[in-house]
Copies of this chain bind each other. A is one copy, B any other.
């Protein structure tokens, strides 16, 4: 806590605490001359108001929280950058919580935030969030909440997402147009709505082109890198029915696929073509360069935080729920040539 508190400042000035406090809040009850004297002394003594006392008085924490699965991830790092930019412009502080894709962490964090530590919460769900009772419980406290990217399907809440169905469809159709007949789909979660939408796009693109979906080519990965490498290796090492195209719904699974292909000497794109959701800044420098569906991650963060502040500042109607959808872009590179 700061060394100079209101009491010391008042003692030094020979004024009451209440007068000093009023002077600092520019109250009409205090003369201009006294205000000047108080401000000069406050600066001299390097006085900073106690933020917790201020928060108690104003019933505001001037802080928002962001709850995300991980940070060493290009998408979330860029989104956090966008969130932080808006928070800084608003003079707000940003508490960061990582769930590490673990539902128990997410639940404990959300439960804690019910205590009123923050004025608003931004959330992107972890991969195994099935139950939403913790989210409903936080919502009932009246704290403004905005979900981004990984949003709950079963809840009417403000969200910022991308066109996941269309992107899944376009990515798959892109591989079909490049000549693929057996397209595998790699996903990270059974529960997330973004996975459902991206996979529905994949399914519908196959249907449109009269390609039968092979359930063996729909691979459910998890948060264990070794496990994912093995699943992908098994699929790509098969003598029969080896896929000739891969649609990865998350970046890290495309990277795992590259490692496996290097390992078993499978040539991209000659023997297998790849496209992936990705915000990798080095996508064009990979060997071969990676075709991507690139989400506007920074803008997602920015829009989410802006929406949250409209709610905090009560600039939206109480009965209005904003659902903002931004467009991703398909960037064709050598991995799907």
Contact = CB atoms under 8 A, between A and B. Distances in A.
Interface of A: 1-3, 46, 48-53, 55-56, 59, 61, 63, 70-74, 77-78, 80-81, 84, 88, 93-98, 105, 112, 114-117, 137, 140-142, 255, 258-259, 262, 280-282, 285-289
A90 to B, nearest CB: 14
A55 B262 CA distance: 54
A3 B46 contact: no
A115 B287 contact: no
Which has the most chain B C-beta neighbours within 10 Å: A74, A96, A112, A137? A96
Contact of A77 (B48, B72, B259): B72
Nearest to A111: B48
Contact of A281 (B80, B88, B255, B289): B255
Contact of A80 (B49, B71, B81, B116): B71
Contact of A74 (B72, B142, B258): B72
A279 to B, nearest CB: 9
A98 B301 CA distance: 15
22 contacts: A2-B141, A3-B142, A46-B114, A46-B137, A46-B141, A48-B112, A48-B114, A52-B55, A52-B56, A53-B56, A71-B71, A71-B81, A72-B81, A73-B77, A80-B96, A88-B98, A93-B97, A255-B281, A255-B282, A258-B282, A259-B285, A286-B286
B77 A93 contact: no
A78 B98 CA distance: 12
**Total identical chains:** 2
A288 B286 CA distance: 8
B115 A51 contact: yes
Nearest to A282: B282
A255 B56 contact: no
A285 B255 contact: yes
A2 B114 contact: yes
Given A50-B56, A56-B56, A285-B258, A96 B84 contact: yes
A95 B117 CA distance: 12
A272 B140 CA distance: 61
Which has the most chain B C-beta neighbours within 10 Å: A46, A55, A78, A280? A55
Given A84-B96, A287-B286, A116 B71 contact: no
Contacts of A115: 2, 48-51
B50 A116 contact: yes
A73 B81 CA distance: 11
Contacts of A81: 70-72, 98
A190 B96 CA distance: 31
A264 to B, nearest CB: 15
Nearest to A70: B81
A78 B112 CA distance: 25
Contacts of A112: 48
A232 to B, nearest CB: 14
A63 B140 CA distance: 25
Contacts of A70: 81
Given A1-B59, A255-B282, 9 more contacts: A46-B137, A50-B56, A50-B115, A51-B117, A70-B81, A88-B98, A95-B95, A255-B281, A255-B285
